[in-house]
Amino acid sequence: MALYMKAAEILEKSEKKQGALKTLVYDSKFPNIKQLFALVCETQKFSSILEEIIESTKLLKQTKLKMPLAKVLVYDLLMGQGLKCGGSWKAAMLKHRARLQAVLARMKVKQKVSKNEDLLPKNTKQPVQLPRYVRVNTLKTTVDDVVDYLKRDGLSYLGHASRMEDLTLKEKEFLRDMHLPELLVFSPRTDFHEHFLYKSGHIILQDKASCLPAYLLDPPAGSHVIDACAAPGNKSSHLAAIMKNKGRLFAFDLDAKRLTTMSTLLLRAGITCQQLANQDFLKVDPKNPQYKDVEYMLLDPSCSGSGMACLPHEESCDDQEEVRARLASLASFQLRCLNHGLSFPRLKRLVYSTCSIHSQENEQVVAACLQQNPGFRLVSLLPQWPERGQEPLTQCLRASIQKTRTHGFFVALFEKLSSAATKDQKPAMQTSPPSGGETRPEDPGESEASEVEEAVVPAAEEAATAPGKKKRKRKRKRKTKEAA
């Protein structure tokens, strides 16, 4: 019953615009984040159809249920995997099941369709099944050992992917990703939440696009790094693994509850180099001696979350003005964060990322930042990556459902110029800074879209000590990531 109560609560708040859907899911503290997120997304998608069914059967009057709760119950009864509750709710739903099914059947006959999805309006974004991406936690194990373990577990290993078409996998098939060496790819319905490797922190459930920022920043072992907007922590855990758990990882987040979740995640992953702070990154003093050795920074600030695969990209015409205003406010906040990040005196590299598809939050913010910070340049990233930033900022990367089989994402890498080069450096392009208020957005969408896969579970004891790992030459690694 707790699942449906929480889903109804989140659905109601989302419909009243009291929070971004994924933020509401994170803040719910529900044990199974994936299950809750899927139920809310699917119920929201079929909302108008469910409402018509409920009103036609007068279900609210006869059961005394409220509409949000009725929607999630009717969705699971008619379109989902069946009711997962007992007691009075289940009894009420089963009592009215025949009438509810009859209304749904009549709707299909009237529209001459056979599938539930065909009842959706033409402009409704159809569900997209992305591959299941799993990042191997190299602090505890190796990719080869995980592959061997899964093969013994009955899965079929297909080797390295060489093209996007290879990512269309059948059940129990998996392969290694073509771009990220520590990433494994599985069929969409593969579930690892109860698997030993997940519970023990040997693997992290993380979308491929979300792995790009830490991979491209590539801080060396022993370095001092800032993760400016860190919770719920997948990117921080990735940074720590790249740093070999050596050095200092300063992680900031305003949300104390999400920071607690992050602490549990890092503990499970075996990370000890972190220093978490429940603090506004914009109020962190770059001249504080504590951060005098910070040379690398990952900035993944609040964003619209428009790249999430389960959410619609377009708003209704009535909402367009509100959307434009919110994007302007977000872009202004993002630019402030970027400028603040680049002001740390010893900073060498900063990765900026969002899970947004909007240029206002991506290329426009980056262009304005370059104009205001002539001492930094953009690094050209992964020349083999199939989707680039919009002209003229093709050094940046974009990710999308269609071209990269990931959530929508954007990544830019800023690098500090030498003092000699800075004197002659000209702005990369003439552009106006993003317009909008200078205050923090009241209802930010966190750009950890792909991290909803991570549900916090108690850390399990490891069965064996992780084997040693082969050393890699960081210089050679960087050459594969960047174009000169």
Enumerate the active-site residues. 355
Q: Using the Cα atoms of residue 30, residue 33, residue 35 and residue 38 in order, give the sign of their dihedral.
A: positive
Q: Which of 240, 276, 23 is nearest to 135 (CA)?
A: 240
Q: Which amino acid is at 243?
A: M
Alpha carbons within 13 angstroms on the beta-carbon side of residue 465 total: 3
Task: Determine if residue 235 is labeled as part of a ligand binding site.
Answer: yes
The answer on whether 231 is annotated among ligand-binding residues is: yes
Give dist(CA 208, CA 185) in Å, integer.
9
Helix segments in 112-255, DSSP class H = 143-152, 196-199, 208-217, 234-242
**CA-to-CA dists, residue 464 to 140, 197, 258, angstroms:** 10, 12, 30
Task: Output phi, psi for 409, to 5 deg.
Answer: -155, 160
Contacts of residue 434, defined as CB under 8 A and 6 or more positions apart, other chains included, come to 328, 331, 332, 334, 335, 360, 364, 365, 368
Query: Is 201 known as a binding-site position?
Result: no
Please, are residues 396 and 378 in contact by the beta-carbon 8 Å criterion?
A: yes
- 443 annotated ligand binder: no
CB of 364 closer than 8 Å to CB of 434: yes
Decide: 50 and 65 in contact? Cβ < 8 Å: no
Q: Is 310 annotated as a binding residue?
A: no
Q: Are strands 274-277 and 203-205 parallel, antiparallel or unpaired?
A: unpaired
Paired sense of beta strands 173-176 and 183-186, if any:
antiparallel
C-alpha span between 364 and 354 (Å, rounded): 13
Task: Say if residue 118 carries a ligand binding annotation.
Answer: no
Phi/psi at 51 (5° precision): -65, -40
444 known ligand binder:
no
In this structure, the number of other CB atoms found within 10 A of the CB of residue 65 comes to 19
339 is in an annotated binding site: no
Binding-site annotation, residues for S-adenosyl-L-methionine: 229-235, 253, 280, 300
Binding residues: 229-235, 253, 280, 300
